[in-house]
Structure formats: C-alpha cells, structure tokens
Amino acid sequence: MTGKHTGFSASVNAMYDKAVALMDLSPGLADKIRVCNATYTVRFGVRLRGAIHTFTGYRSIHSEHMEPVKGGIRFAMAVNQDEVEALASLMTYKCALVETPFGGSKGGLCIDPRQWEPHEMEQITRRFAYELIKRDLINPAQNVPAPDMGTGAREMAWIADQYQRMHTTDINGRACVTGKPLNAGGIQGRVEATGRGVQYALREFFRHAEDKAAAGLSGMLDGKRVVVQGLGNVGFHAASFLMREDGAKITAVIERDGAVFSDAGIDVDALHMHVQETGGVKGFAGAEYEADGTKLLEADCDILIPAALEAVIHTGNAARIKAPLIIEAANGPVTSEANDILVQKGCVIIPDLYANAGGVTVSYFEWVKNLSHIRFGRMQRRAEEARHQLLVDELERLSANTAVPWKLSDDFKANYLRGAGELELVRSGLDDTMRGAYGAMREVWHARGDVPDLRTAGFIVSIDRIAASYQAKGL
C-alpha cells in the first residue's frame, strides 16, 4: 500500500533508537534491551469438520528483566513473527512506563475467528494453550497472557482451565492468564480497562495548560470533536466514556466497512449496538455514511483516536491528518516516519506505550488478586463505612446543638458512606497509574530541551528503568 512502512519491528526500533540517542547508556546495553530474546513458533493440527487443520501460532518474549513476562494473545489472519515481536517489545516499554512489574511478551495465532463455531474455537484455543503451557510459555511465574485483538474473556477462561488441568496442584494456577471472566478469577473493570485508561490519559493531558497549548488546544474535554477508528473493545469503551462522562462529541467512527460521521455528534452506544446487530456501521440512522472509511482519519477534529490496527497513519497520509492531538489507543497505529511528519507539523501524539497501558495495568491487579486469593476491598470495605458513619453521626449530633441546625445532604451522605468495592479500587488504581506515568513522561519532555515529543520522553523513562533493572542484575 502506498506510504506504508516496511516493518512493524523496524518502526518500533526506530522510535527506540531516537530515545537511546539522547541517553547515556553503558556500551552494548541499548542493543541488549532492543533485541527480542526469543520467539517460539508452534504448529499444531486439530481435527475439525472431518479433516485435520494445521494452525501456526507464536509466543514472543522480548525482555525478561522482570518475570513473569506479560502481553496479550492475538487471533487474526495477519499475525506473523515480525508483528508479535514488535508487539512484545512494546509490552516491555509499556510495562516499565506504568510500573507493572513485568517483562514484555506477546502471542498470536493465525486464524480468522469468525470462520469457526464456538466449540471449534474452544478446541483450537485449548490446543494452542496446551502447546504453550507444556513449554512454560504460559505460567503464573513466567509468562502471563491476556486478551488482545480477536480474543476476550472467553478465550482466557479456556486457557486458565487448560493450565489448571495440566497443573492440578498449582494453587496459583488462575494467575497464569489475565482478562478472565469474573467467575473464573477475573477482576471487575478489566474489560473496560484499556478504554478507561485512554479516558484517564486524556483527562490528565487536559489538566496541563502547557501541554494543551503545544497542540493548540484549550479548555477541557467538554465539546471536543473526537474521531475514533475501531469500535472494538478499546475504541468503544474510550468513545463511550468520553461521550457520556466528559461531554466530548464523537464526530466520526471508522470501522471495517466504512465510516459514519456527524457534526452534531454520534451516539456511540447506539452505534455499537448497530454494529453488533449488523456487523458494520453502514445503515446507522444517526449519521452520514462514507464507504472509504480511512478518509475520515483526515477529518477536521480536535482529537483522533486510532483504536484498531497498526500502521494506519503512514507517510502516505500523515501530512493530511488535521487532528492537533492523536492518542494511540491501538498498538503502533502511527509509523515512525509518520510520527516525524506529524510532530514537525505541531501535532501532539500521546503514544501507545502510555495511552493503551490501562489493559496491562488492570491485568496486573488481576494477577495480584489471583495470587492473594482475595478480592480487593473485602477486608476493608465495611470497616471504612463504619468509620464514615461515626463521623456523619457525630457531625449531625453537633449540628443538633447549634442555634441554626444544619443538615448534611442525602446525596453527600450516600456517596460518603459507601465504602470502596473492587471496581472503584481498580479504577482508582488505574487513574493513579495513568497520572503518575504521564507525569514522568511530561517531566522529561519539558525539562530537557532536546526531547522532541511525548513518545521519545516515554521511551526515555522506560529505557532508564529497564537499564536500571539490568544493572541491578549485574549485567
């Protein structure tokens, strides 16, 4: 395709090298961190529909400076070794930036999940998991997968069950994979996590006048015109939260079968239902339709959220992108060359290694929950409520004795008295993580005159931490 770059790994490595050039790493360390430690290819046959079908899958381990290594498993026809290696390297940098104590990994299976019935998908997934588990490429202490494109809670439940069948006495078996359904050891808030993280990242960006000014933006998220590419789990949650909770206007949504757009804003929840029912955005009543969806990437807007595939913004279209702010909800949506064109134009990019880290952050909480065998908040919640009740009772008692008695509003009491449950704690932990990581990135961006963009700043923070961890190991 015109303007597309040559390789995903090459693109990530070019971004990495740009950061390394501004750092003072000990000789050879930059190369050691950059390379992918190992990539396993497994080929296996499954008897389906009266014939044996051979599938090819991968699990790539980019860096084991911390273990377990972490990263999703993708089911898609386009999966290949270069892609899983690039995605594994992004996991390393992502985990370091948001301080989840993992190395980076990624897996993929070449398959079109829509071609198979659920019971066939279960057979294939279990067989793939078996191949990885017997090589310790799925293991609570060594390698912990999660959902990615084409996979979700259902697949993670099959993988967890497969692991437990093969390790019947491993008391921590459930921690072998994250993104599981709640009833199979999952955690509340994991499904929405990556989209929620995008929302928290944007909120944090809009708290900093200097950063907004760099993109030529002002004000808050309210009324901002947002274009979203991809209404999958990440794009849908991000767009829905921004629309419902921050007052943003979703002016275009790009999907596989085209795009819909409306200056008045699109009801993303209704559109999502339409996509679930019909398989595409075409025919949605609340907006106009354009068959050549990618054109809408170039639409006039305030914020562009690519939340689908890698390399959708490349040298062929970068110069025509009008959005002053891009937040990379997908992994690698902007190529290295396109990044430079956009930065040159004054566009601010909130990079993938930060912007979509909400998923792995909540995966970390799930892994900790599995290892501690107790739900977050179970011990504290009622004690917290009892203490708050004490304070409310005391205030009301004091008020009764004043000349003009006052009352606490019912609304305040209801909110204040409620102890935090798992979902609130997960969101709080995620928000704190996104704020902290943004702070670390922007400090490097602004404090040094030679750091051109947030992405390079993010890489510098991340590489610094990985280098420190290698050095602590004596390397």
**What would the DSSP string read from start to end of 461-473?**
HHHHHHHHHHHHT
Would you say 178 or 336 has its CB closer to ligand GLU?
178
As measured in angstroms, the least distance from the Cβ of 366 to ligand GLU is 8
Sequence-distant (≥ 6) Cβ neighbours of residue 356 within 8 angstroms = 94, 194, 197, 198, 234, 328, 329, 330, 331
Q: Is 435 exposed, middle or buried (0-12, 13-18, 19+ CB in 10 A)?
A: middle
Would you say 30 or 146 has its CB closer to ligand GLU?
146
As measured in angstroms, the least distance from the Cβ of 376 to ligand GLU is 17
Of these, 89, 92, 125, 331, which contacts ligand GLU (CB under 6 A)? Answer: 331
> Per-residue b/e over 245-258, b at no fewer than 16 CB within 10 Å?
ebebbbbbbbbeeb
CB contact at 8 A, 248 and 206: no
Cα–Cα distance, 73 to 58 (Å, whole number): 9
Cα–Cα distance, 157 to 174 (Å, whole number): 9
Structure tokens that stand for 86 in this block: 């690039």
As measured in angstroms, the least distance from the Cβ of 330 to ligand GLU is 9
Cα–Cα distance, 9 to 104 (Å, whole number): 14
As measured in angstroms, the least distance from the Cβ of 472 to ligand GLU is 23
Would you say 136 or 222 has its CB closer to ligand GLU?
136
Cα–Cα distance, 327 to 325 (Å, whole number): 7
Cα–Cα distance, 367 to 121 (Å, whole number): 25
CB contact at 8 A, 406 and 445: no
As measured in angstroms, the least distance from the Cβ of 360 to ligand GLU is 4
Would you say 360 or 430 has its CB closer to ligand GLU?
360
As measured in angstroms, the least distance from the Cβ of 144 to ligand GLU is 7
As measured in angstroms, the least distance from the Cβ of 219 to ligand GLU is 30
Would you say 90 or 301 has its CB closer to ligand GLU?
90
Task: Please confirm, yes or no, whether 106 is among the known catalytic residues.
Answer: yes
Among candidate residues 309, 351, 336, 462, the one with its CA nearest the CA of residue 10:
336
Would you say 61 or 347 has its CB closer to ligand GLU?
61
The footprint of ligand GLU on residues 163-222 (CB under 6 A) is 178
CB contact at 8 A, 376 and 369: yes
- Convert residues 31-70 into a mask of x (bound to ligand GLU by CB under 6 A) and - (unbound): ---------------------------------------x
Structure tokens that stand for 467 in this block: 């280098």
- Convert residues 347-386 into a mask of x (bound to ligand GLU by CB under 6 A) and - (unbound): ---------x--xx--x-----------------------
Of these, 12, 146, 214, 347, which contacts ligand GLU (CB under 6 A)? Answer: 146
Would you say 91 or 221 has its CB closer to ligand GLU?
91
Cα–Cα distance, 191 to 234 (Å, whole number): 9
Is residue 148 near ligand GLU by the rule CB under 6 A?
yes
Q: Is 363 exposed, middle or buried (0-12, 13-18, 19+ CB in 10 A)?
A: buried
Is residue 239 near ligand GLU by the rule CB under 6 A?
no
Residue nearest to ligand GLU (CB): 72
Q: Where are the beta strands (DSSP E) in 64-198?
A: 69-70, 73-76, 103-110, 143-144
Of these, 71, 104, 140, 185, which contacts ligand GLU (CB under 6 A)? Answer: 71
Residue with tokens 């601010």: 348
Of these, 68, 72, 103, 186, which contacts ligand GLU (CB under 6 A)? Answer: 72
How far, in Å, are 179, 209, 248, 281, 382 from residue 301 at the CA level? 33, 19, 11, 20, 46
As measured in angstroms, the least distance from the Cβ of 352 to ligand GLU is 9
Interior angle at CA 149, CA 72 and CA 136, nearest 5: 25
Q: What is the dihedral of CA 434, 437, 440, 443, to 10 degrees?
A: -40
Structure tokens that stand for 17 in this block: 């090298």
Annotated catalytic residue, options 18, 70, 106, 249: 106
Count of residues that bind ligand GLU according to CB under 6 A: 11
As measured in angstroms, the least distance from the Cβ of 369 to ligand GLU is 14
- CA atoms 318, 320, 325, 329: torsion sign: negative
CB contact at 8 A, 306 and 326: yes
Would you say 360 or 441 has its CB closer to ligand GLU?
360
Is residue 462 near ligand GLU by the rule CB under 6 A?
no
Terminal CA-to-CA distance of the chain, rounded, Å? 42
Would you say 233 or 251 has its CB closer to ligand GLU?
233
Residues near ligand GLU (CB under 6 A) are: 70-72, 146, 148, 178, 331, 356, 359-360, 363
Active site residues: 106
